[in-house]
């Protein structure tokens, strides 16, 4: 079973290279390859999820351990990994389907699909990497591909956005690489499980390296105050890429790594737990208040990405705080479950919202809400799916966002952090006000005369939006204990049994 893990790297990389090599003669090759590749990887992910709670390890190279130091490149899949694999695969497949029609407006379609596959390979690699250096390598692959895709339209705004993204991304990478250097200098190993076993019990060292890693990966996850690159990058990119950046990338190369490191690798301590919780709270509040005044559809969504990632990090942070202060384990489990649940939900409804914005811009040529209106009668699928996603992100039942937010709020109350629960409720109300504005100005009211001949988006785009809208309802079922045990419980168990990570991966 472990021998299947390299396919997550081989297939997207192979698809990218085949697209570039033969794409000059077969111009639609990328379109023909991307959907079968993503269907296969989605099926493979479902297979791995069905095998939970098993931890799967594959050694690339297969060298014997030397002096109890694992000498090989490890690929690892467990309950937490499976959630990210599921997010990348499902959103990646639907975004690829959406792109088949959307990218016809560009002359470099071949390069688009090659870069898209490289970004997927990088994200898959980050998630399954069992050593911190190769995690960094795959992070750079995903980042460099995303830098290029943000500027794919080669317009002034896109070039400016990608320049800012690259500069801050470079700073982030330098900070992360410095932290990796300190870890290797101290432990003599790069394997994550072995680092957890050998990391010295020196509080000052762990605190120093933790601050570097929070800064580096917090920038990748666009947490406040490291968020300044995200609104420009996500709003300027082609809409399928905006959906991948907000729906997947900031989770795979940012939030996931923070969660993995501070549960399974480093010792849980109060200072770091409080720092993560504060960053999550600030992101949740600042993001939503910056969003509500925006009139650019995609820029508004970009700020909401910051806010919604705040909910994810808040849930994880509360779980860390409860464990660090010796609180009730069931409260920590509830908080972590809420954070992971919202991470899954956000990947779906935020990807859908960016695809909605792309659909509107594709047909009208603008994303300025003040210049839109009355599109519901002309674009019923875009309008209907946008309404579903707007209710989901605002936390309105019976959509999925409601249940994950309620779990996080209940966890905050049970942990005694009443102000955090209050802020979470207020932010949800402001989010609803923001998306009420979106619905009013984009889809209702009077239809401008120039949009009289507007039609619904092409079939592939409409199908992707419809499936994501259905998922916004279906994923509410994760609140049911029997369903939750299949998807969320194995991930929570991995984080709660932090001491067993090394044993399960390297047997030491």
> Which pair of structure tokens corresponds to residue 347?
């990947």
Within 10 angstroms of residue 106's Cβ, the number of other Cβ atoms is 15
**How many structural domains is the chain composed of?**
1
CA–CA distance, 430 with 288 (Å, rounded to integer): 7
CA–CA distance, 481 with 171 (Å, rounded to integer): 43
Measured CA to CA in angstroms, residue 294 lies from 289, 290, 367, 375, 466 at distances of 10, 7, 11, 20, 26
Q: In terms of residue numbers, what domain contains 425?
A: 2-506
Within 10 angstroms of residue 32's Cβ, the number of other Cβ atoms is 13
Residues 363, 454: contact at Cβ < 8 Å? yes
CA–CA distance, 111 with 96 (Å, rounded to integer): 14
CA–CA distance, 315 with 339 (Å, rounded to integer): 4
> Cβ contacts of residue 264 below 8 Å, gap of 6+?
192, 196, 494, 495, 498, 501
CA–CA distance, 435 with 441 (Å, rounded to integer): 10
Residue 74: phi and psi, rounded to 5, are -100, 135
CA–CA distance, 85 with 320 (Å, rounded to integer): 23
> Which pair of structure tokens corresponds to residue 24?
């000059």
> Cβ contacts of residue 202 below 8 Å, gap of 6+?
none
Residues 488, 341: contact at Cβ < 8 Å? yes
Of 400, 391, 402, which Cα lies nearest the Cα of 425? 402
CA 409 to chain centre: 21
The secondary structure of residue 144, as a DSSP letter, is H
End-to-end CA, the chain: 21
- Global pTM? 0.94
Tell me the pLDDT of the chain (508 aa) as tens digits: 677 888 999 999 999 999 888 877 777 777 788 999 999 999 999 988 887 667 888 888 766 555 566 667 888 888 889 999 999 999 999 999 999 888 887 777 788 899 999 999 999 999 998 888 899 999 999 999 999 998 887 777 888 888 888 999 899 999 999 999 998 888 888 888 888 887 766 667 788 898 999 999 999 888 888 888 888 888 888 889 999 998 888 888 888 999 999 888 888 888 899 999 999 999 999 999 999 988 888 999 999 999 999 999 999 999 999 998 888 889 999 999 999 999 999 999 999 999 999 999 988 888 888 888 888 888 999 999 999 999 999 999 899 989 999 999 999 999 999 999 999 999 999 999 999 999 999 888 888 888 888 888 899 999 999 999 999 999 999 898 888 888 888 888 888 887 777 777 776 5
CA–CA distance, 214 with 178 (Å, rounded to integer): 12
CA–CA distance, 119 with 12 (Å, rounded to integer): 9
């Amino acid at each position: 079973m472990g021998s299947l893990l390299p396919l997550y790297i081989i297939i997207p990389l192979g698809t990218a290279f085949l697209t570039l090599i033969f794409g000059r003669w077969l111009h639609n090759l990328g379109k023909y390859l991307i959907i079968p590749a993503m269907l296969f990887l989605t099926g493979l992910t479902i297979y791995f999820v069905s095998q939970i709670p098993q931890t799967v390890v594959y050694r690339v190279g297969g060298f014997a351990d030397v002096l109890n130091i694992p000498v090989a490149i490890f690929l690892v899949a467990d309950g937490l990994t499976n959630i990210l694999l599921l997010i990348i695969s499902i959103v990646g497949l639907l975004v690829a389907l959406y792109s088949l029609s959307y990218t016809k407006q560009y002359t470099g379609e071949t390069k688009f699909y090659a870069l898209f596959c490289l970004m997927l390979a990088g994200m898959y690699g980050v998630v399954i990497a069992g050593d911190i250096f190769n995690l960094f390598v795959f992070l750079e692959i995903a980042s460099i591909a995303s830098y290029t895709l943000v500027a794919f339209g080669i317009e002034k705004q896109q070039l400016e956005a990608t320049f800012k993204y690259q500069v801050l991304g470079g700073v982030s990478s330098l900070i992360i690489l410095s932290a990796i250097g300190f870890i290797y200098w101290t432990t003599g190993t790069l394997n994550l499980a072995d680092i957890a076993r050998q990391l010295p019990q020196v509080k000052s060292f762990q605190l120093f390296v933790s601050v570097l890693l929070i800064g580096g990966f917090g920038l990748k996850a666009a947490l406040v105050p490291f968020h300044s690159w995200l609104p420009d990058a996500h709003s300027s990119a082609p809409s399928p890429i905006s959906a991948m950046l907000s729906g997947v990338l900031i989770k795979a190369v940012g939030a996931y790594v923070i969660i993995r490191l501070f549960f399974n690798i480093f010792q849980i301590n109060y200072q770091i737990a409080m720092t993560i919780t504060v960053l999550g709270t600030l992101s949740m509040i600042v993001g939503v208040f910056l969003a509500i005044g925006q009139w650019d559809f995609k820029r508004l969504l970009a700020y909401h990405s910051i806010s919604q990632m705040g909910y994810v990090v808040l849930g994880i942070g509360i779980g860390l705080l409860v464990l660090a202060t010796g609180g009730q384990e069931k409260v920590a489990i509830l908080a972590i479950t809420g954070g992971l649940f919202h991470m899954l939900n956000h990947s779906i409804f935020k990807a859908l919202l960016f695809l909605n914005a792309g659909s509107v811009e594709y047909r009208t040529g603008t994303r300025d809400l003040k210049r839109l209106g009355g599109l519901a009668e002309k674009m019923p699928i875009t309008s209907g799916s946008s309404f579903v996603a707007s209710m989901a992100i605002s936390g309105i039942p019976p959509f999925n966002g409601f249940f994950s937010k309620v779990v996080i709020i209940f966890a905050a109350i049970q942990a005694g952090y009443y102000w955090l629960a209050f802020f979470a409720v207020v932010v949800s109300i402001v989010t609803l006000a923001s998306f009420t504005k979106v619905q009013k100005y984009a889809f209702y009211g009077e239809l401008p005369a120039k949009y009289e001949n507007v039609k619904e988006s092409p079939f592939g785009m409409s199908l992707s939006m419809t499936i994501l809208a259905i998922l916004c309802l279906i994923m509410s079922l994760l609140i049911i204990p029997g369903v939750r045990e299949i998807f969320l419980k194995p991930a929570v168990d991995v984080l709660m049994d932090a001491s067993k990570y090394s044993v399960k991966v390297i047997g030491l």
